[in-house]
């Protein structure tokens, strides 16, 4: 009489164990998906190599595979469950220090509140350099169209400023350009130079730790930002030149308006 009852108990135990294992596996899959390195819309890259391909193509695919592997290894703050997830808020603070909004707001405020013509001229060119950086980065991203490796949907800034393409890293270009700008125009002590260079390095590193970009995105961004300052130096705008340009534009507008009124009176 006890044999059927024991069989029923054993069957219940097996069923409960199966339900528990299925629930735990689904929970693991849910956690893994929330901390996935690739975004759901990202396209997987094919690194298969055929010996019939040209040597340049084989080398390029090999380098891209190394880039992907190294970027995955460095993304230790991609989410709270990552190996270094505990320092994620600090890394995100460093990331925000390289965002374009605080730099533009600070440059514009200093330009309007500047106490000297030289200070206003420096801030004017810094604001123009930031706008130039936004334009050039957007053009390159649109041309290359490389998908981002990850998107952290729990971040407020990532939700508001969703980037579809990752090459190059805008934070890296901005960090390199602003660092070179500050070193050339404002910083004159060795301690401040070390601080500026350290900030630029940390901002670039934060993009890798948070798995926002690939290594090549950050490397090319640093080189691009370094070269952008050379362009800013060549196109340096002085306040006298700006005032002359504004007065010239104003004079042309007034002449066109006066000419239109004169022609209207002549027709009547």
Tell me, yes or no, if the pTM score tops 0.75: no
Task: Please choose, from the candidates 184, 168, 186, 176, the residue with its C-alpha nearest in 3D space to the C-alpha of residue 106.
Answer: 186
At 8, phi and psi to the nearest 5?
-65, -40
Mean pLDDT of 197-210: 93
Q: How many CB atoms lie within 10 A of CB 97?
A: 15
Query: Which residues neighbour 203 within 8 Å (Cβ) at sequence distance 6 or greater?
Result: 94, 95, 97, 98, 171, 172, 174, 175
Is residue 139 within 8 A of residue 165, CB to CB? The reply is no
Q: What is the predicted pLDDT for the residue at 211?
A: 86
pLDDT at 247 over 90: no
Q: Considering only 5-14, 103-112, 171-180, 207-216, which range has the smallest mean pLDDT?
A: 5-14
Place of tokens 């996935």: 36
What is the spatial distance between Cα 172 and Cα 98, in angstroms, rounded to a whole number?
8
Q: What is the predicted pLDDT for the residue at 264?
A: 54
Chain CA centroid to CA 112, Å: 28
What are 103-157's pLDDT values in tens digits?
Answer: 999 999 988 887 788 888 899 999 999 999 999 999 999 998 888 775 555 455 5
Mean pLDDT of 15-30: 48
Active-site annotation, residues? 171, 213
Q: What is the predicted pLDDT for the residue at 206?
A: 92
What is the spatial distance between Cα 176 and Cα 230, in angstroms, rounded to a whole number?
12
Mean pLDDT of 31-44: 47
Count Cα neighbours of 235 within 13 Å in the Cβ-side half-sphere.
Answer: 13
- Alpha helix positions (H), the chain: 2-34, 55-74, 88-97, 100-112, 117-144, 156-160, 170-185, 190-209, 215-234, 239-267
Is residue 81 within 8 A of residue 31, CB to CB? The reply is yes
pLDDT at 179 over 70: yes
What is the spatial distance between Cα 211 and Cα 200, in angstroms, rounded to a whole number?
17
Q: What is the predicted pLDDT for the residue at 11?
A: 46
Q: Is the dihedral of CA 21, 26, 30, 32 positive or negative?
A: positive
Q: Considering only 116-120, 167-171, 180-184, 210-214, which range has the smallest mean pLDDT?
A: 116-120
Q: List the beta bridge partners of residue 165.
A: 147
Is residue 113 within 8 A of residue 107, CB to CB? The reply is no
pLDDT at 4 over 90: no
């Amino acid at each position: 009489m006890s044999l059927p009852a024991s069989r029923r108990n054993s069957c219940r135990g097996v069923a409960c164990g199966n339900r528990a294992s299925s629930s735990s596996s689904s929970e693991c899959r849910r956690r893994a998906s929330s901390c996935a390195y690739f975004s759901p819309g990202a396209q997987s890259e094919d690194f298969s190599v055929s010996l019939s391909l040209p040597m340049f193509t084989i080398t390029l695919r090999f380098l891209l595979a190394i880039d992907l592997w190294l970027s995955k290894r460095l993304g230790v703050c991609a989410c709270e469950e990552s190996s270094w997830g505990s320092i994620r808020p600090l890394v995100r603070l460093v990331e925000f220090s390289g965002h374009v909004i605080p730099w533009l707001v600070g440059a514009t405020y200093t330009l309007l509140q500047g106490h000297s013509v030289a200070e206003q001229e420096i801030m004017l060119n810094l604001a123009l350099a930031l706008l130039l950086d936004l334009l050039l980065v957007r053009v390159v991203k649109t041309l290359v169209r490389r998908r981002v490796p990850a998107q952290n949907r729990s971040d407020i800034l990532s939700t508001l400023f969703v980037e579809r393409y990752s090459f190059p890293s805008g934070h890296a270009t901005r960090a390199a350009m602003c660092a070179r700008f500050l070193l050339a125009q404002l910083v004159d002590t060795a301690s401040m130079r070390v601080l500026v260079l350290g900030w630029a390095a940390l901002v670039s590193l934060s993009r890798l730790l948070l798995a926002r970009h690939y290594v090549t995105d950050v490397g090319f961004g640093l080189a691009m930002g370094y070269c952008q300052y050379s362009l800013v130096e060549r196109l340096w705008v002085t306040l006298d030149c700006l005032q002359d340009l504004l007065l010239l534009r104003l004079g042309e507008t007034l002449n066109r308006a006066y000419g239109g009124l004169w022609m209207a009176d002549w027709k009547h």
